């Protein structure tokens, strides 16, 4: 870099004039005073401070760098030229992109080296992928969640364990632009008016964003990846979720029209199991799927989908889960699949429609089957203030016939069906329950499922199916595969 004969006087005390900086005039002013061979700064200091070009590799061998302020400014101008702000970016060849980089750099008063040009080009190419620099994480089948806390911190979740990555965005502005494009693809937006947003991209990526007005750093972005675009019980059996005998039992319950509730913690595979079990619904029945974020898609001839809606900017237009459930009772449906019961209103509506004779399938957050019953009782108690405990548990007994718990085995790290419990009638003020299967595993033994009870309350209906399910014929211990 050539020496400057006289120090360049900054127009403000801290060295930057915001108006000139925004218009790019400040860069042109530098370019007029001297031609820069190295256009990437580590920092902006006083006029006499030396200027350095030091890309910041996060980890040896990784092609992820923190771009300098100068290259970030050039990158932002290129993105505007390509239409990134409006989401209408067009495909350009490498030669066209290199020419565009050279043109914009010259317009701003910079002369880039081949190394600097390649840095900008790599950033553009990575951001042009559907998930930008996060694409390699999306493509990794081991990863269930991608968590972005700010532009320089990206973590992943594998088997509900969190791991830091060395991936970072080029700048806060680059991250903000990426988030806006992603939310646009998901059909939603995240702003101060709507600081919490959810959306779906395709059938495999659920997007959740929290605006930086609510965050310490942020904005926060969480991408939940669905690794089974289409799933069957055979796929889950191969993955080790449970042996075929358990799936035949659950499929039999669904086929004969019993309501099944799937419980588990976050990321344990509740929705995936629900999608697979829905495949057992007879083809001549009508299904209504209700969700807040569309995740469940079924290969069925008679299925309809309804999505809840939050209020708009005028605080109007909200469609609650309970409204959708009650509307479903007028839609001539045989089965209702409700994505997740998150509050008292939704739980009461689902229990009500299932108690009225419609078969259902839903999920709820809980750590065990017993805790799921307690949560249902709590939700109903909130919705029906003043109702006695006996009234609440009678509603549960009428509506739900089986509860399935899924979790991640702490020894193997795999998702497993941990327990299946049948819900019986209320007798002497107590909700009768019968444990059917329980998962057992230790560091010394192989995973196995013990048949706790070979007498089902639905024995006659299960054994009368075209493919009879007979618990009495199952071995006492079931093994994986």
Domains 132-225 and 233-479 share a fold: no
* Assigned architecture for domain 233-479: 3-Layer(aba) Sandwich (3.40)
Q: Where are the domains of the chain?
A: 18-127, 132-225, 233-479
Tokens in use for 209? 């964003």
In angstroms, the CA 470 to CA 320 distance is 41
> In angstroms, rounded to a whole number, what is the distance separating the alpha carbons of residues 19 and 471?
76
d(CA 51, CA 460): 82
- What is the token pair recorded at 103? 């043109």
Instruction: From 199, 200, 222, 201, select the one nearest 210 (Cα to Cα).
Output: 222
Burial class (CB in 10 A: 0-12, 13-18, 19+), 275: buried
Q: Is 254 helix (H, G, I), strand (E, B) or coil?
A: helix
How confident is the prediction along the chain (481 residues), in pLDDT tens digits per residue?
Answer: 333 344 434 444 444 444 444 444 444 444 443 333 333 333 333 333 332 323 333 333 334 556 778 887 787 787 777 765 444 455 566 777 778 888 888 888 888 887 787 777 777 766 667 888 898 899 898 898 999 999 999 999 988 789 999 898 888 888 998 899 899 888 888 888 889 988 888 778 889 999 999 988 889 999 999 877 778 999 999 999 999 999 999 999 999 999 999 999 988 999 999 999 999 999 999 999 998 888 888 989 999 999 888 877 677 788 888 889 888 888 999 999 998 998 898 899 999 999 988 999 999 999 999 999 999 999 999 999 999 999 999 999 999 999 999 999 988 888 999 999 999 999 988 999 999 999 998 767 788 999 999 999 999 999 999 999 999 999 999 988 6
Q: Phi then psi for 359, rounded to 5 degrees?
A: -75, 145
Residues 6+ apart with CB under 8 A from 45: 15
How far apart are alpha carbons 10 and 5 in whole angstroms?
15
Q: Yes or no: is domain 132-225 CATH 3.30.450.370?
A: yes
């Amino acid at each position: 870099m050539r020496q400057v004969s006289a120090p360049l006087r900054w127009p403000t005390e801290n060295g930057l004039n915001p108006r000139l900086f925004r218009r790019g005039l400040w860069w042109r002013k530098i370019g007029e005073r001297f031609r820069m061979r190295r256009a990437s700064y580590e920092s902006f200091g006083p006029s006499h401070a030396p200027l350095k070009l030091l890309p910041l590799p996060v980890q040896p061998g990784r092609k992820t760098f923190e771009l300098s302020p100068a290259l970030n400014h050039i990158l932002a101008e290129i993105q505007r030229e390509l239409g990134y702000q409006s989401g209408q970016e067009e495909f350009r060849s490498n030669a066209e992109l290199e020419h565009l980089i050279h043109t914009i750099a010259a317009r701003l008063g910079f002369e880039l080296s081949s190394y600097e040009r390649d840095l900008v080009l790599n950033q553009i190419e990575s951001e042009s992928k559907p998930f930008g620099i996060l694409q390699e994480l999306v493509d990794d089948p081991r990863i269930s969640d991608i968590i972005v806390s700010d532009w320089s911190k990206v973590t992943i979740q594998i088997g509900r364990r969190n791991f830091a990555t060395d991936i970072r965005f080029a700048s806060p502005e680059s991250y903000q632009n990426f988030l806006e494009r992603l939310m646009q693809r998901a059909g939603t937006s995240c702003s101060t008016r709507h600081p919490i947003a959810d959306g779906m991209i395709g059938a495999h990526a659920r997007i959740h964003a929290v605006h930086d007005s609510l965050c310490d750093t942020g904005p926060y972005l969480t991408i939940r990846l669905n690794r089974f675009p289409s799933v069957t019980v055979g796929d889950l059996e191969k993955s080790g979720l449970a042996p075929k005998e358990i799936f035949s039992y659950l499929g039999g319950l669904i086929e004969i029209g019993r309501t099944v509730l799937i419980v588990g913690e976050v990321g344990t595979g509740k929705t995936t199991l629900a999608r697979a079990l829905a495949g057992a619904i007879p083809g001549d029945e009508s299904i209504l799927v209700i969700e807040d974020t569309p995740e469940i898609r079924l290969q069925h001839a008679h299925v309809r989908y309804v999505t809840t809606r939050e209020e708009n900017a005028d605080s109007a237009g909200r469609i609650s889960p309970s409204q959708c459930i009650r509307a479903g009772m007028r839609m001539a449906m045989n089965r209702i699949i409700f994505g997740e019961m998150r509050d008292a209103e939704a739980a009461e509506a689902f229990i009500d429609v299932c108690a009225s004779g419609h078969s259902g399938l839903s999920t709820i957050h809980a750590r065990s089957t017993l805790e799921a019953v307690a949560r249902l009782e709590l939700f109903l108690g909130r919705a029906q203030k003043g109702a006695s405990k006996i009234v609440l548990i009678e509603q549960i007994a009428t509506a739900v016939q089986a509860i399935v718990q899924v979790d991640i085995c702490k020894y193997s790290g795999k998702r497993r069906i941990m327990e299946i419990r049948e819900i019986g009638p209320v007798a002497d003020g107590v909700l009768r329950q019968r444990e059917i299967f329980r998962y057992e595993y230790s560091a010394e033994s192989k995973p196995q499922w013990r048949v706790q009870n070979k007498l089902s309350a639905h024995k006659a209906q299960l054994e009368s199916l075209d493919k009879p399910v007979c618990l009495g014929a199952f071995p006492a211990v079931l093994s994986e595969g």
